[in-house]
Chains A and B, each alone.
Chain A
C-alpha cells in the first residue's frame, strides 16, 4: 500500500500532462480490465470524498483541455483524454458502482427519495443514466421488468413506462438495467 501512496495519483499525472504541453502520449493508468480488490478498498477506506475530489480534478483537467482546444489541442487528443478519464473511473470505481447499483436495485419502488439520492451519487461518480421509451420492445440487455400491466391499447410485450432509470459507465458497461413496466395482453 505504501508504494502505491508514493506514486503520483492519476489526477496528478493528468494535471502534469496538461501543464507541460498539449497532447502528450496518454497511457491509461489502469492495469487491468476490471477493478482490483485493492482498488475497491482504496475507494472506501481513505474515504469516498477523497476519491470524488480526485474525480472532480480529473474532470477539471479535461474541461481545461477542452477550453484550450482552440490553442492547439486536437479533438482526437481531447477524446483520448476523455477515454482515459472513463478508463480511470471504471478501473477504480467499477466494483463500487456495481454495489451501489445493486443496493439501489434492492430499494423498494416507492422509496423514491432514497433512490434519488443514490442516483445523484452515481451521477457524481461519473455513471450515465438511461431510460426506456414507451412502446419500445423489451431488451433484456438493458431492461428489467419491474411490473406487468394489461393495456388493451398497447401491443403485447412492449414497454408501457419507465419505473426507474438504468445506469451505465461512460464506457458503456451496464451497472443497472432500466426498470420498466411491460404490457402483457391477457
Chain B
C-alpha cells in the first residue's frame, strides 16, 4: 500500500510519499528530447482540445499551447481549481467557448486520473499497488468544493484515507522542519505557530498548537480569492498597460499566454535575481518593443494585494488569543510562511514588518510542505483537531414570516470531530408557520455586525420539507406550494451532523407524526 499526501493546488499539484520514516517527493517524470526530466510539481492546468474533445493535463496541457495553431484548437483552463468554489450539482464550465459547456466533475475526475498515472510513471510503486491518500484542501474551501474534490479523487482510484486543511498539514511539516527532519524528535515538539499559507489561488491563516503528535487548530480563516494567480494577473495588466493594449480585450488564449509569462517573471522575482520584469510582445503575437517593468512598480501592486492577507493573519492571531500588537514571541513561537507565493521576498518582509517581535520562518519546501505534512499525517499517529473556518447556516423566516434572517448552525471556530470520533451535532426546534419548510443553506467567510453574511457567501442546496403531516415526506413539492399555516402545533426538529471532513447532513423530524428524513445538505 503506497501512502501518499496529495496537495491539489490551484497552480500545482504535489505528491509526497511515506517511505519507511522518510517523506520524499514523488517526481513528475516527463519524456523530452533531451531524455527524461523530472519536475517537483504536476501543473494543475487543463487544456481542452476542441478537435478531439479530449483534455490534456499537466505538462501536456502546457505543451499544447505552443503547438502551431494552438489558439484555434485548444482552450486552456489555467486555474481550473478556482471553478470548484462555485460548484453546484451538475455544474458545467467553459460555456463561453464550447456550446453546452464541459462537465466540471468529469474534468476533475480525469485530472485526478492523470495525477495517478503520473505517480505510476515515477516507478516508485508497483503497478498494482493501491494508493492510500491524505488529500488536502484550503482551510476556507466551501463544502461543495470539499465534497466534489474528495469524490473525484476517489472516482479516479485513490483510496482517501483522510482529508486535511492545508495550514494544518503545513504545521505538521513545520514540526519536522524544527528538528531538521528527525522524526523521533518531531513527535516531541511543543510549539505554537501561525501558518501563513499563500498559495496559487487562496490564502489561509491558522494558529496551531503543537503538542507532540497532537495538533490543535486554535483559529483559522482565509481569503478565498487571493494568491499567485492574482499576482500574475496584476503583472499581466501592468504589461498590457505598458503595451497600450486592453487586457480584457485580449482573447482567452492570449490572456492565458500572458498570465503564464507573468508567472515565469514572478518566479524570477521570487529568486531575487531581477530588477525589472520583461515581456517580448511577439510572444503573444503582438508587435511593439520589449516591455520592461521595474520590480519596484510591481512590488507596490503586490503590497496592495498582500495587505488584506497580513491583516487576516493578525485577526486570526487575535482570535487564538495572541495579541499581535504585543509581539510576544514567547507565546507564539513562529509565523510559518508556506505556499508557492510565500517565496516572494515581499511576503516575508511584510510579515516581519507587521509582527516585528515574532520569528518568521519561510519554508524551504514552498511547494511540497503541505503534501509532506499530509503524508506524515497518513502514516503516523498524528492527531489534528481542526475547526470550522467558515460560518454555516440557513436563511429562516422570523417575526411570523415578515423578515428573513441568517441563522448560524455551525459558526466559525466550532471544533471539527476527530476522525474516529462521533460527529459534531446541533439541533433546533420550532413550531412551523407554513405547510412546507423551505430551507436555504449557505456558508460565508464572515458575518457583519447585524448578523448577515457579508463575505465569501456560497449557497448550498435548498431543501423543501413538508411540515404538514397531511403531506407525505416524498411528496413532489415546490416553493409555489408554500402557504401560511397557523394551525400546526407540533414542533419540528432539525438535527445537524458534521463529520471530520466538514461535510454536513441534516435530519428533519416533524413532531406531529414522528416521521423524519435525512438530507445531505450538499448533494453533487
Please give the residue numbers on chain A whose beta carbons come within 8 Å of chain B beta carbons, in ascending order: 31-40, 95, 98-99, 102-103, 105-106, 130, 132-133, 136-142, 145, 147-148, 155-157, 166, 168, 171-174, 184
Contacts and interface: CB of A to CB of B under 8 A. Distances in A.
Contacts of A138: 66
B33 A102 contact: no
Interface string B57-70: 00100110111100
A155 B69 CA distance: 12
Contacts of B36: 172
A141 B63 contact: yes
Contacts of B38: 171-173
A172 B31 CA distance: 10
A38 B372 CA distance: 18
A105 B274 CA distance: 9
A136 B33 contact: yes
B25 A34 contact: yes
Contacts of B37: 141-142, 168, 172-174
Contact of B181 (A31, A133, A155, A173): A31
Contacts of B364: 34-37, 39-40, 95
15 contacts: A31-B22, A34-B368, A36-B181, A36-B364, A38-B180, A99-B271, A102-B271, A137-B67, A138-B66, A141-B62, A157-B66, A168-B37, A172-B29, A172-B35, A173-B39
A72 B352 CA distance: 57
Nearest to A136: B33
B24 interface: yes
A33 B24 contact: yes
A132 B68 contact: no
A73 B34 CA distance: 30
Given A32-B22, A33-B24, 20 more contacts: A33-B23, A33-B40, A33-B365, A34-B364, A34-B365, A34-B368, A36-B364, A39-B364, A103-B273, A106-B274, A138-B66, A139-B33, A140-B66, A141-B39, A142-B34, A148-B280, A156-B68, A157-B66, A173-B37, A174-B39
A33 B368 contact: yes
Interface string B1-29: 00000000000000010000011110101
Nearest to B177: A36
Nearest to B31: A141
A174 to B, nearest CB: 5
B273 A105 contact: yes
Shortest Cβ-Cβ A-B pairs, 3 listed: A33-B25, A31-B181, A157-B68
A32 B24 contact: yes
Given A141-B37, A168-B37, A36 B180 contact: yes
A10 to B, nearest CB: 15
Nearest to A150: B282
Contacts of A36: 177, 180-181, 364
A132 B32 CA distance: 11
Given A37-B364, A138-B66, A148 B282 contact: yes
A117 B32 CA distance: 27
B268 interface: yes
Interface in B347-387: 362, 364-365, 368, 372
B282 A184 contact: yes
A31 B34 contact: no
B283 interface: yes
B25 A102 contact: no
Contacts of B22: 31-32
Nearest to B264: A144
A156 B62 CA distance: 18
Of A38, A171, A172, chain B has the most CB atoms within 10 Å of the CB of: A172
A174 B65 CA distance: 20
B518 to A, nearest CB: 44
B30 interface: yes
A33 B16 CA distance: 9
Given A31-B22, A102-B273, A141-B59, A132 B33 contact: yes
A184 B282 CA distance: 10
B273 A106 contact: yes
B268 A142 contact: no
B63 A140 contact: yes
A171 to B, nearest CB: 6
A140 B67 CA distance: 10
Contacts of A174: 37, 39
Nearest to B60: A141
Contacts of A38: 180
A136 B66 CA distance: 13
A32 B23 contact: yes
Contacts of A35: 364
Given A33-B365, A34-B40, A133 B273 contact: no
A103 B67 CA distance: 29
A46 B63 CA distance: 42
B180 A31 contact: yes
Nearest to A156: B68
B32 A142 contact: yes
Given A33-B40, A106-B268, A173-B37, A139 B32 contact: yes
B134 to A, nearest CB: 17
B365 A157 contact: no
A5 to B, nearest CB: 13
A167 B365 CA distance: 21
A184 B32 CA distance: 22
Contacts of A148: 280, 282-283
B180 to A, nearest CB: 7
B466 to A, nearest CB: 56
Nearest to A31: B181
Contacts of A130: 34
